[in-house]
């Protein structure tokens, strides 16, 4: 009888086969550095600029000519504009402002030959009423009539920003600058437009000009910090954010910007301190806390990681468990079984009734791995049976179930599970290798050979070929 003790090389090859089931989830990579504001958040920032009383005052003043480059108006056209002004400034005791009548009056007078001021004024009224496509058309008509009409280009830039057409807004604001209309708001909004169009060098230049002309508006310096981040100039971004935080310690967005910069500088613990500060300020989000959890996992602070992930789930307004499941996998991969269990329990409570079959299977597999790690074999089998009940074609679960029965000594049940898994194309090779390993362990080398040969036909691997060759030699020498 040939025994394994006679063939130490075979034992080595057998051990080298390794696990053939799906790999455990690796710990998350260092969180990607990205702009800390989404498009919707940029839109909100721009909207705040539009709501600012100083902006509204400047917008109101833009009805009047402020440059020497203005379209000409005839005496009759001036009379119409006076009527429009009177309708817009109608006192409350006489019915209040009447913008609808003002627009009707303008529309009735706008012709190809009429002054561009009519089109511009209509654009202003439409913009204030949030009728944006119509406002674009009015401003463009004014600019077409008078290519040097600065106020028409500025209005066009404003409305395109509000619509989210950043490239068009950038073109309009650039024309304003060409015509000599460079104020802080124009430069600042141009910076946002360039940033949202991924032209970060131009955005940086625009924000620098805006900050120079208006040093009291924080948004321009924050825009400059974002431009640094997008250019991966992390040290400059961190330094600028530090100066801004010193003057505005309650601004969570500044702490978040600096956290991104610290991640880019490979200083994750400083980033974690910032993210904790964001949470203490009461302004943490699902994403910021999940990022905090990822940092803690990478730093092997698994207890803190579990806490951050649980806090992130409490803020998940979208009801998407994918990020949380990934976190649980990362913890289990680090053999942090207790912390992994906390996150798994949290997922099942937070997303109760919202879990798809796929996610439920993932959770059950994690439970099964935990059962194996803690020696709870019976629990492992129950969990694997649940997985197979959800999806009878889950080859990974069938192989794990086969391995469980093999360890328990029930070779017949193990073989049955391996054969079921081998009937699934994606798992055929791995299932046949596991089945062959069991047979070799029983000394049934001749029976193992066809399984290994078929596995190599389906999925050739050097270590399996080495195993096959040695099993074949043993079979021939028996």
What pLDDT band is residue 7 in, cutting at 50, 70 and 90? very low
Task: Identify which of 18-27, 253-262, 406-415 has the greatest average pLDDT.
Answer: 253-262
CATH of segment(s) 394-478: 1.25.40.10
Residue 278, pLDDT > 60, answer yes
Residue 1, pLDDT > 50, answer no
What pLDDT band is residue 56 in, cutting at 50, 70 and 90? low
Residue 32, pLDDT > 60, answer no
Phi, psi of 394 (to 5 degrees): -80, 95
* pLDDT recorded at residue 3: 39
* pLDDT recorded at residue 59: 57
The answer to whether residues 151 and 59 touch, using CB atoms and an 8 Å cutoff, is no
Residue 301, pLDDT > 70, answer yes
Query: What is the spatial distance between Cα 170 and Cα 178, in angstroms, rounded to a whole number?
Result: 12
Residue 57, pLDDT > 70, answer no
Residues 236-246: tens digit of each pLDDT? 999 999 999 99
* pLDDT recorded at residue 39: 62
Compute the average pLDDT of residues 173-189.
94
Compute the average pLDDT of residues 454-478.
91
* pLDDT recorded at residue 2: 36
Residue 469, pLDDT > 70, answer yes
Angle (nearest 5°) at CA 264 between 263 and 265: 90
Residues contacting residue 11 through CB under 8 Å, at least 6 positions apart: 4
Percentage of the chain with pLDDT > 90? Answer: 62
* Furthest CA-CA distance within the chain: 117
* pLDDT recorded at residue 374: 61
Residue 173, pLDDT > 50, answer yes
Radius of gyration of the chain from Cα atoms?
34
* pLDDT recorded at residue 6: 38
Residue 217, pLDDT > 60, answer yes
The answer to whether residues 392 and 385 touch, using CB atoms and an 8 Å cutoff, is no
* Average pLDDT over all residues of the chain: 85
SS3 letters for the chain? CCCHHHCHHHHHHHHHCCCCCCCCCCCCCCCCCCCCCCHHHHHHHHHHHHHCHHHHHHHHHCCCCCCCCCCCCCHHHHHHHHHHHHHHCCCHHHCCCCHHHHHHHHHHHCCCCCCHHHHHHHHHHHHHCCCHHHHHHHHHHHHHHCCCCHHHHHHHHHHHHHHCCHHHHHHHHHHHHHCCCCCHHHHHHHHHHHHHCCCHHHHHHHHHHHHHHCCCCHHHHHHHHHHHHHCCCHHHHHHHHHHHHHHCCCCHHHHHHHHHHHHHCCCHHHHHHHHHHHHHCCCCCHHHHHHHHHHHHHCCCHHHHHHHHHHHHHCCCCCCCHHHHHHHHHHHHCCCHHHHHHHHHHHHHHCCCCCCHHHHHHHHHHHHHHHHHCCCHHHHHHHHHHHHHHCCCCHHHHHHHHHHHHHHCCHHHHHHHHHHHHCCHHHHHHHHHHHHHHHHHCCCHHHHHHHHHHHHHHCCCHHHHHHHHHHHHHHHHC
What pLDDT band is residue 13 in, cutting at 50, 70 and 90? very low
| Least confident span in 16-20, 53-57, 231-235, 372-376 | 16-20
Residue 12, pLDDT > 60, answer no
What pLDDT band is residue 353 in, cutting at 50, 70 and 90? confident
* pLDDT recorded at residue 60: 58
| Least confident span in 17-21, 141-145, 348-352 | 17-21
What pLDDT band is residue 384 in, cutting at 50, 70 and 90? confident
Compute the average pLDDT of residues 172-194.
94
Query: What is the spatial distance between Cα 442 and Cα 448, in angstroms, rounded to a whole number?
Result: 10
* pLDDT recorded at residue 67: 47
| Least confident span in 214-218, 396-400, 411-415 | 396-400
Residue 66, pLDDT > 50, answer no
Residues 107-162: tens digit of each pLDDT? 999 999 999 999 999 999 999 999 999 999 999 999 999 999 999 999 999 999 99
| Least confident span in 177-186, 358-367, 437-446 | 358-367
Compute the average pLDDT of residues 434-444.
93
| Least confident span in 251-260, 283-292, 344-353 | 344-353
Residue 214, pLDDT > 50, answer yes
Residue 264, pLDDT > 90, answer yes
Compute the average pLDDT of residues 78-100.
89
* pLDDT recorded at residue 335: 81
């Amino acid at each position: 009888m040939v025994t394994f003790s006679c063939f130490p090389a075979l034992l080595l090859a057998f051990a080298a086969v390794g696990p053939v089931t799906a790999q455990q989830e690796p710990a998350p990579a260092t969180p990607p550095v990205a702009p800390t504001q989404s498009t919707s958040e940029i839109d909100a920032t721009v909207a705040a600029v539009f709501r600012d009383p100083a902006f509204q005052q400047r917008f109101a003043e833009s009805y009047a000519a402020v440059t020497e480059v203005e379209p000409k108006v005839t005496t009759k056209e001036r009379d119409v504009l006076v009527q429009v002004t009177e309708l817009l400034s109608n006192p409350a005791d006489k019915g209040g402002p009447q913008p609808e009548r003002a627009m009707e009056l303008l529309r009735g007078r706008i012709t190809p030959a009429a002054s561009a001021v009519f089109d511009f004024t209509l654009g202003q009224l439409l913009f204030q009423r949030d009728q944006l496509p119509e406002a674009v058309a009015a401003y463009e008509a004014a600019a077409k009539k008078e290519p040097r009409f600065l106020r028409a280009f500025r209005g066009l830039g404003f409305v395109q920003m509000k619509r989210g057409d950043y490239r068009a807004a950038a073109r309009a604001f650039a024309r304003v600058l060409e015509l000599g209309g460079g104020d802080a708001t124009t430069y600042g909004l141009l910076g946002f437009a360039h940033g949202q169009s991924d032209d970060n060098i131009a955005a940086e230049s625009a924000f620098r000009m805006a900050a120079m002309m208006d040093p009291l508006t924080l948004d321009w310096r924050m825009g400059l910090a974002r431009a640094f981040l997008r250019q991966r100039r992390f040290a400059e971004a961190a330094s600028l954010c530090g100066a801004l935080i010193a003057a505005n310690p309650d601004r969570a967005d500044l702490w978040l910007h600096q956290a991104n910069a610290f991640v880019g500088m490979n200083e994750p613990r400083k980033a974690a301190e910032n993210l904790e500060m964001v949470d203490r300020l009461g302004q943490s989000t699902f994403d910021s806390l999940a990022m905090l959890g990822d940092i803690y996992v990478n730093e092997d602070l698994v207890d803190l990681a579990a806490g951050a992930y649980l806090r992130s789930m409490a803020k998940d307004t979208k009801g998407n468990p994918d990020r949380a499941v990934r976190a649980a996998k990362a913890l289990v991969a680090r053999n942090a079984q207790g912390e992994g269990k906390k996150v798994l329990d949290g997922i099942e409570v937070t997303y109760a009734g919202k879990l798809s079959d796929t996610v439920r299977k993932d959770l059950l597999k994690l439970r099964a791995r935990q059962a194996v790690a803690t020696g709870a074999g019976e629990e492992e089998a129950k969990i694997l049976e649940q997985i197979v009940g959800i999806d009878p074609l889950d080859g990974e679960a069938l192989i794990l179930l086969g391995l469980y029965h093999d360890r328990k000594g029930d070779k017949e049940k193990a073989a049955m599970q391996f054969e079921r898994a081998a009937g699934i194309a994606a798992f055929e090779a791995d299932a046949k290798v596991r089945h062959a390993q069991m047979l070799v362990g029983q000394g049934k080398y001749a029976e193992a050979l066809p399984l290994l040969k078929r596995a190599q036909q389906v999925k050739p691997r050097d270590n399996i070929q080495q195993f096959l060759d040695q099993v074949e030699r043993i079979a021939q020498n028996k």
